[in-house]
A = this chain, B = another copy of it.
Amino acid sequence: MLEPRLTLLIAESEDSRLSSLCREVLPTSIRVIHSEKLLIHEFSDVNIILGAPDRLADWLPYLPKLQWIQSTWAGVKPLVLAKRHDYVLTGLKGVFGQAMSEYVLGWLLALERQILTYAADVSWNQRPLCSVQGKHVGIMGTGDIGRAVASTLSNMGMVCRGYNQSGKVFPEFQSCFSGSNMRDFACGLDYLVCLMPDTPKTQGLVSRDLLMALDSDAILINAGRGNCIDELDLLWVLDQGHLRYCVLDVFRQEPLPESHPFWSHPKIYVTSHTSAPTDPAGAVRVFEMNLTRFLNGESLLYAVDFEKGY
């Protein structure tokens, strides 16, 4: 008896590289349809989706045969919030570590080594040398991205503390903190790097108290999700003369409106959710690994726990 043919929906309109890369790894037994050319009656055939969570949430009620969605984003919140959970949702992991490490280390070096200031010089100017060496960094979020960043920063001579919800300890960190142990985690840190997903438990976790516990010259980087920081709290902390710089890549509202005070604040650098965009090759690599497991009836990598939200 022939197995019923599988149908894969590729739901990513903005990057045609994803489709072309996919074509190289797909067995011919799988039929591929693309969301741009999708006819409504085709929804009923779809077994597998590879795509960005935001667009997919609305389609869930129309996909009777859906078995598996491979997200092309690190964050999967739109699908976690959707009511339907009778399929396997797999996140995209193991592919953002390099880009995020470059972002975090790049900004720390740019600020500590005064690269932005030197770049604007028009005459000889020797400033005292500062260094990232020996600096204490707290990383909130100890998933694969946080651990990759910790390894990179440790290689540059920094000392990394980790914070997570699970209480797990990872060798990439000199010490790990969790739960209410937050003040000990934050106390005297030179740099705080937030790399947490958007879940109810991370909402507002980077509080005034936490920020005030950092060294007064500390640098804050948020490249996880915007929900962990109350933006007014952050402005209040800066108004106290606390913190040297903030580098923010994620916000409560994106795109960050042009009228937002962050754009013009002298201590805040805004980037436009560009710290670690999806690399199509990395996404297809993960999809291919999971597809092999799917076809063999094995459990999939990076399956999302809908309860936890990641």
- Give A contacts to B, CB under 8 Å: 98-99, 101-103, 105-107, 109-110, 112-113, 115-116, 118-119, 121-127, 129, 131-133, 152, 155-157, 254-256, 258, 263-264, 269-274, 277, 279
Known: A102-B131, A115-B116, A121-B270. 6 other contacts (CB 8 A): A98-B157, A121-B263, A123-B263, A126-B274, A126-B277, A129-B274
Cα A125 to Cα B271 with chains together (Å): 8
Chain B residue contacts of A107, Cβ below 8 A: 115
Chain B residues, Cβ within 8 Å of A273: 126
The answer to whether residues A277 and B129 also contact, given A122-B258, A122-B264 and a CB cut-off of 8 A, is yes
- B residues near A106, Cβ cutoff 8 Å: 106, 109-110, 113, 115
Whether the Cβ atoms of A274 and B98 lie closer than 8 Å is: no
* CB pair A124 B272 closer than 8 Å: yes
Given contact pairs A102-B131, A133-B98, A121 touches B274 in the complex (Cβ within 8 A): no
Closest 3 CB pairs of A and B: A106-B109, A124-B255, A118-B271
Contacts of A103 in B (CB 8 A): 113
Residues from chain B with a CB closer than 8 A to the CB of A263 are 121-123
Residue of B nearest to A120 (CB): B116
Contact yes or no, A99 B129, CB < 8 A: yes
Complex interface: chain B residues within 8 A of A127 (CB):
274
Contact yes or no, B152 A155, CB < 8 A: yes
30 contacts between A and B (CB under 8 A): A102-B109, A102-B112, A102-B156, A103-B113, A105-B156, A106-B106, A106-B109, A106-B113, A109-B110, A110-B115, A110-B119, A115-B116, A116-B119, A118-B269, A118-B270, A118-B271, A118-B274, A119-B269, A122-B264, A124-B254, A124-B255, A124-B256, A124-B258, A124-B272, A125-B272, A126-B272, A126-B277, A127-B274, A129-B274, A129-B277
Q: Are A131 and B98 in contact (CB under 8 A)?
A: yes
Q: How far is the CA of A119 from the CA of B271 in the complex (A)?
A: 8
Distance to closest chain B CB from A287 (angstroms)? 19
User: Among A106, A152, A258, A270, which residue has the most Cβ atoms of chain B within 10 A?
Assistant: A106
Q: How far is the CA of A71 from the CA of B208 in the complex (A)?
A: 49
Contacts of A123 in B (CB 8 A): 255, 258, 263
The CA of A203 and the CA of B101, in the complex, are separated in Å by: 37
Alpha-carbon distance between A129 and B274 when the two chains are bound, in angstroms? 7
Contact partners of A124 in chain B: CB under 8 A: 254-256, 258, 272
Task: Closest B residue to A274 by CB, please name it.
Answer: B126
Which chain B residue lies CB-closest to A255? B124
- Name the distance in Å between A270's Cβ and chain B's nearest Cβ: 6
Assess the A105–B99 pair: CB atoms within 8 A: no
CB nearest neighbor in B for A121 = B270
Residues of B close to A274: CB separation below 8 A: 118, 126-127, 129
